[in-house]
Amino acid sequence: MQFDVDDKFDMIEAHHEVNEELNGEYDREMNVHEGKSYPSCEAYASNLEQYICYCSNFQYIFIRNHLLKSVRRIDLCHSPTSLACLDLTLVASMYSLSLKGSNNLMMAVGTEEGKVIVYKLNDYDHKVVFKTSGGLAFGQVTSVSLTGGHGHDLIRMLAATQSGEIINFNLAHVINTLEQQ
């Protein structure tokens, strides 16, 4: 059995196209993959029409809507090392959230600098809703996880670092402030 390809998106090509827009420096004939190796590139399927991806060498996250063939970019100012998402529609009724648009997500990004940045995303916008302070973790964040449950304090974020630390965050207060944003 063979799978049909619905979409193919090249983060490396997109990175070079963005640089061309900003700096005018990009030769389309250049092979952007030649001799390159990227230690960590990951993708997360947020729903049936879009996915979120990053390459640790670039300081931004791509949001790809493969049905519309569109791409958005979130500038991080940090090198991403891990990514997790939580569908906010799963917890909207528990917290009386009125969500605008579709594709409402909470996204946590672990960084090489040992920080975790949490964003609220929808089809149109993204906002930082929480970030850890510098020095909270020793070493880069190697894994991050978001879980939503059926109780007021069961929305948790776990972050693991390269030094073996596991940090557990209660994000109920973050969810409660989303309505005000």
Q: Does 1 reside within a domain?
A: no
Tokens read off for 92: 């909207």
Q: Does 4 reside within a domain?
A: no
Q: How far apart are CA 65 and CA 7, in angstroms?
A: 10
Q: How far apart are CA 148 and CA 171, in angstroms?
A: 9
Q: Does 3 reside within a domain?
A: no
- The pLDDT averaged over each successive group of 10 residues in the chain (181 residues) is 79 62 49 60 77 84 83 87 85 70 83 90 84 82 82 75 89 67 54
Query: What value, to the nearest 5°, has the Cα angle with vertex 93 and ends 48 and 99?
Result: 55
- The whole-model pTM stands at 0.78
The pLDDT assigned to 29 comes to: 46
Q: What is the CATH number of the domain that holds 144?
A: 2.130.10.10
The pLDDT assigned to 18 comes to: 55
Q: Does 121 reside within a domain?
A: yes
Q: Please name the residues in contact with 167: beta carbons below 8 A apart, sequence gap of 6 or more.
A: 132, 136, 137, 158, 159, 160, 161
Amino acid letter for position 29: E
Distances (CA, A) of 55 to 40, 64, 97, 139, 142: 6, 14, 32, 19, 14
Q: Does 167 reside within a domain?
A: yes
The pLDDT assigned to 110 comes to: 92
Residue 78, domain extent = 11-178
The pLDDT assigned to 144 comes to: 92
Q: Does 147 reside within a domain?
A: yes
How many independent structural domains does the chain possess? 1
The pLDDT assigned to 116 comes to: 92
Tokens read off for 170: 């209660």
Q: Does 116 reside within a domain?
A: yes
pLDDT digits (tens, 9 = 90+) for 61-80: 888 888 888 888 888 888 89
User: What single DSSP character describes residue 148?
Assistant: -
